[in-house]
Structure 1
Amino acid sequence: MEQWKKNLAVLWVGQFLVMAGMTMIIPFLSLYLQSDLGLTDAHETATWAGIIFAGNFVTSFLFQPLWGKLSDRYGRKMMLLRSGFGMAIVMVLMGFAQNPWHLLLLRMVNGTISGFNPASVSLVSATTPKEKMGFAMGTLQSGGIAGTILGPFIGGLMADAIGFRPIFYVTGLLLFLASMLAMFVVKESFDRTKAAAKPNISVMAGFRKLGRIPQLASLFAVTFLIQFAMIGPMPLMPLYVQELQGTAVNLAFWSGLVGSATGLSNMVASPLLGRLSDRIGQERVLGVSLVGAALLFVPQAFASTVWQLLALRFVQGMFLGGLIPSVNALIRKHTPDGMESRSFSLNSSTLSLGNMIGPVAGGLISGWIGIEGVFIVSAVLFAVNAAWVRWSLIRRTGSAPGGG
């Protein structure tokens, strides 16, 4: 097997385990706070659960650019292993938490040392042949999506089978094994002497330099909107399903199914659309995917049955599956040489920002113009972004300083 394929296979497993580890606490977090950490009031438990879950993304948003800078200077594999082994240790420590503050602090530490995903993307982009870039990015994306979807399911099964605390020990062990696998199998060609000879640009200076490239600004906005669109409606989905289905049985089942439908089709479509983008161009796949996703938001606001909503969310996931692989391939294309990891880390920060703002904005919009309004606003934002992508990428192709 060629080395780039070995890298891709190992990092797919790593992406899956990292995202599963971050999301598998969703089904039992509130129960863990009550049964093991001593909370009794329902409102207090819900508040702590929200804060603890968000804590990971807050620090991840803040620290990703720093790890990107260090990755460009000292190597992507080093940052990959730093994050993987670090998160394995923190995950095990979560199983020893004695109160909610311990768990919150550890979740924030986990976000601080995270960076496995952008380091994986950067390493794959550096070792994959140019003509296979879309396929590789799509395949890697499917690993993260699979972990995000299956994480809560696995967490729920494990909670029933072995209890809450052992889940953290098992997850930490799996992250450790994935990191060990990466240490021995993954290889990159990185010239530290050449990297050290380049000017040591600060995080903020690097941010300003990359921000002046319109193609990259547009791609970062796409990443933010993807997360806004996927995560924003999630907390509202049970209410919307209840509105469509009334008080029928299996409400939780249907809410979960509707919520995961987009991710399931996204996971399947990402490698396929990534391969297609290698043939017809990432800009074209990105533009069509944005327009398709925007159009499919509108009928969701007017769905009259759960089956309609489920079908629309599933089809929309196919269009969303063409976004992240295209974005990652185009980030590599438009980034100046030597700043690739910074770009991917900044992109990861915008993803974390979408994870933070999406649910909050969705709740505010829902309170203002109803749950249906969340879909309409998302459609408008996607349409505006599609126009921006057309102007900044398609019309200006080849103008980026990084070799675009």
Structure 2
Amino acid sequence: MNKPLIVIFTAIGLDAVGIGLIFPILPRLLEEVTHAGNVAPWIGIMTALYAVMQFVFAPVLGALSDRLGRRPVLLISLAGAAINYVVMAFAPQLWMLLIGRAIAGLTSANISVATAYITDISPQETRARRFGLFNAMFGIGFIIGPVLGGVLGDYWLRLPFIAAAALNAANLLLALFVLPESRTPSGEKIDLAALNPLRPLRWVFSMKSLAPITLIFFILSASGEVYGTCWALWGNDAFQWNGLWIGLSLGTFGICQSLAQAFLPGPAVKLLGERGAILTGIAGICVALGLLAFATQGWMVFAIMPLFALGGIGVPALQSLATRLVDETRQGQFQGVLASVVALASIIGPLAFSTFYYVVRAQWPGAIWLAVVLVYLIAVPLVLGLRFRSSPINEEKSLAKG
């Protein structure tokens, strides 16, 4: 593997570490700066704020990298991340933490630039393998982040931020001396209309056949946000877990999900079909969540993890099924729509679930998992109702004629 790819993959891994690093320590950190007894709403706000900045600035950084070059945008984002984590390590007030988390979301939007860099330097025949490594690095970072945050946070609540700052500073130096520019900057004026993050969604509203699958993606993505939002609070409330155990449980969850998505979707789709694999995945998650709601001891959570892993077959099968709903000439456009939907779910999900947890926390913290089951069940009739008789392209043509 060449040196530029090592730098890019390291940057992606650190982005994922930064996302997961804060999960185990966020409740205690917010209690420290707000002096509030129930910080669930603030957790939702901070998680959603991070997602908002990614949603808004991913197309902006991508466009800037086309005009100015990939290298300067990546260097600025790495420098911004390092400075931001230093600020968050010593922020004494809530407003400073909110600003810091917003900057973290902005700098992590460099994923779009990293993707473009890999495309620039990769021949067509190697792109699939390299993007596979790209996703693997993100997954590894997301597993390491919570564990590292939990372990360091038990020594000192602000220590995970200092570690993140040091890692990003080291990667900045590596990129500064090793990373070459991957393309000649275009110098063209940026199309401001193209920077509108809601723009890809306009197309799907004109295509009735795409609405159900888009809504399914939204439901599954929003439901997945509950773990980062409520897991640490619930672990502490239900089992009095410290940062180490919260981090280990999130890391175990990430490992199970990664293994399941790597090895199970292919055989599951071959055996059950795409629709059957999606429904099996939803069923596995719902059973696991139901058991989680009534768990009384911490070891039960780890015993339930294989059922969560079974749920990992659902999204890859859904992605495969979605490609059959769109003509080859519209695949890129449709993937852009789905990316926007996932980003919106990452904003709305944390706000909704943190608000619900705020309401039920004192009476029954495990009720949050039953609420997620109800959200998943909304997707079941949508999956059963998917039809493939009319292609979206034909539908679009008929709409145009009408």
Tell me the TM-score normalized by structure 1.
0.69
- Tell me which residue corresponds to 1:300: 288
Task: Report the AA paired with residue 65 of structure 1.
Answer: P
Q: What's the secondary structure of 2:188's corresponding residue?
A: helix
Query: For 1:373 and 1:118, how far apart are their aligned partners in 2?
Result: 33
Query: For 1:106 and 1:336, how far apart are their aligned partners in 2?
Result: 36
Change (3 A) 1:258 1:85: closer
The structure 2 residue matched to 1:73, chosen from 63, 67, 76, is 67
Change (3 A) 1:241 1:120: same
Task: Give the CA deviation at 1:381.
Answer: 2.4
Change (3 A) 1:225 1:128: farther
Query: For 1:336 and 1:249, how far apart are their aligned partners in 2?
Result: 47
Query: For 1:145 and 1:167, how far apart are their aligned partners in 2?
Result: 19
Query: For 1:70 and 1:386, how far apart are their aligned partners in 2?
Result: 42
- Tell me which residue corresponds to 1:313: 308
Check conservation: 1:26, 1:152, Cα contact below 8 A: yes
Task: Give the CA deviation at 1:221.
Answer: 6.3
The structure 1 residue matched to 2:255, chosen from 261, 264, 276, is 264
**Higher mean C-alpha deviation, range 232-241 or range 85-94:** 232-241
Unaligned runs of 5+ in 2: 361-366, 397-402
Q: What's the secondary structure of 2:160's corresponding residue?
A: helix
Q: Matches of residues 333-348 of structure 1 in structure 2 within 5 Å?
A: none
- Tell me which residue corresponds to 2:188: 196
Deviations 1:270-301 (A, max 9, x none): 56689x89xx9xxxx98786455334334336
The structure 2 residue matched to 1:378, chosen from 376, 379, 385, is 376
- Tell me which residue corresponds to 2:56: 62
Task: Report the AA paired with residue 370 of structure 2.
Answer: E
Q: How many residues align?
A: 375
Deviations 1:54-109 (A, max 9, x none): 43223333333322332333333433222222111111122231211111122223
- Tell me which residue corresponds to 1:40: 35
**Higher mean C-alpha deviation, range 262-271 or range 360-369:** 360-369
Deviations 1:334-365 (A, max 9, x none): 6799x99xx87x76654443233223444678
Query: For 1:65 and 1:257, how far apart are their aligned partners in 2?
Result: 34
Task: Give the CA deviation at 1:154.
Answer: 0.6
Q: What's the secondary structure of 1:232's corresponding residue?
A: helix
Q: Matches of residues 54-133 of structure 1 in structure 2 within 5 Å?
A: 54-133=48-127
Check conservation: 1:294, 1:380, Cα contact below 8 A: no
- Tell me which residue corresponds to 2:400: none
Is 2:139 the partner of 1:145? Answer: yes
Task: Report the AA paired with residue 306 of structure 2.
Answer: A
Q: What's the secondary structure of 1:27's corresponding residue?
A: coil
Q: What's the secondary structure of 1:42's corresponding residue?
A: coil
The structure 2 residue matched to 1:169, chosen from 162, 166, 180, is 162
Is 2:21 the partner of 1:21? Answer: no
Task: Report the AA paired with residue 382 of structure 2.
Answer: V
Change (3 A) 1:298 1:41: closer
Tell me the TM-score normalized by structure 2.
0.69
Change (3 A) 1:178 1:54: same
Task: Report the AA paired with residue 378 of structure 1.
Answer: Y
Change (3 A) 1:219 1:101: same
Query: For 2:123 and 2:102, how far apart are their aligned partners in 1?
Result: 36
- Tell me which residue corresponds to 1:179: 172
Sequence identity of aligned pairs in percent?
23
Change (3 A) 1:67 1:348: farther
Deviations 1:352-399 (A, max 9, x none): 4323322344467898997435225325427736976x759x9569x9
Task: Give the CA deviation at 1:151.
Answer: 1.4
Unaligned runs of 5+ in 1: none
Task: Give the CA deviation at 1:18.
Answer: 1.6
Q: Matches of residues 346-365 of structure 1 in structure 2 within 5 Å?
A: 350-362=341-353
